[in-house]
Structure 1
Amino acid sequence: MPPRLLSPDVTTASLAHDALSRDDVLHGSPTTAVLTLDALPTCEVGLWEMTQGSARDTEVDEVFVVVSGHGTVTFEDGERLGLTPGVAVRLRAGERTEWTITETLRKVWIA
């Protein structure tokens, strides 16, 4: 049986960062980290973090809630969302986005 407690504090859980592909970086030298907390029959739940800078991404079907940090995500259609603690966002598979992070951003995701 999987543990009930997945993280005692998602805001401070240790994450290992990796550099992004230079093809995806638009500004700065941002890094990202991913930690899967659990896998359910039809989805996974985890943490994602990005340091300051800007980068492109291609999304998967996901819902996330920002738990710390600040930034924006801009979609190909021009929609731009401010990202601050408490904001919940729905991403759709295949969407191209640009993430601009001004303070290391951490989110809890379900995908």
Structure 2
Amino acid sequence: MADASRTATLHHVPDASLEHEPLPTEQVLAGSPTAGILELEDLAGCGVGVWEMTPGTATDVEAEEVFVVLSGSARVDFLDAQDTVEQSLELTAGDLVRLRAGQRTVWAVRETLRKVYLSA
């Protein structure tokens, strides 16, 4: 019998099924975005999964995370203590992004954004 801790795992994430829920109303700035998440693995204490958000604009407070955009497009604004945008990133398929815990962001999704992430 094979040791399960030593076997490979395959997940086809571009078309994995995600159950969506509306974002909390206090986070939504425009539109009616929904988000879905599929947690896939635990890797030495880091969560690995797939997340996506439908078009709209919403705020968030980030965790320690690295992600790769699989599909879609969005702009992420990073806010300073005075709610002023200090940096913006335009995201499209293939982009790799590092988020820091506690960063306050505004996600403006134009085309449903799907990413695979590693998060502590």
| TM-score interval, normalised by the smaller of the two chains | over 0.9
Q: Aligned partners of 1:15 and 1:104: how far apart in 2?
A: 12
2:28 matches 1:20: no
1:67-90 Cα offsets, whole Å, 9 max, x none, are: 000011100142000110000000
Query: Over the residues paired in the alignment, what is the CA RMSD in angstroms?
Result: 1.1
Number of residue pairs matched by the alignment: 110
Structure 2 runs not aligned, ≥5 long: 81-85
Structure 1 runs not aligned, ≥5 long: none
1:13-38 Cα offsets, whole Å, 9 max, x none, are: 00000111100000000000111110
Question: Do the aligned partners of 1:6 and 1:38 also contact (CA within 8 Å) in 2?
Answer: no
Q: Match of 1:4?
A: 8
TM-score normalized by structure 1? 0.94
Greater than 3 Å deviation, 4+ residue runs: none
TM-score normalized by structure 2? 0.87
By how many angstroms is 1:42 displaced?
Answer: 2.1
Within 5 Å, give how 1:55-70 maps onto structure 2.
Answer: 55-70=58-73
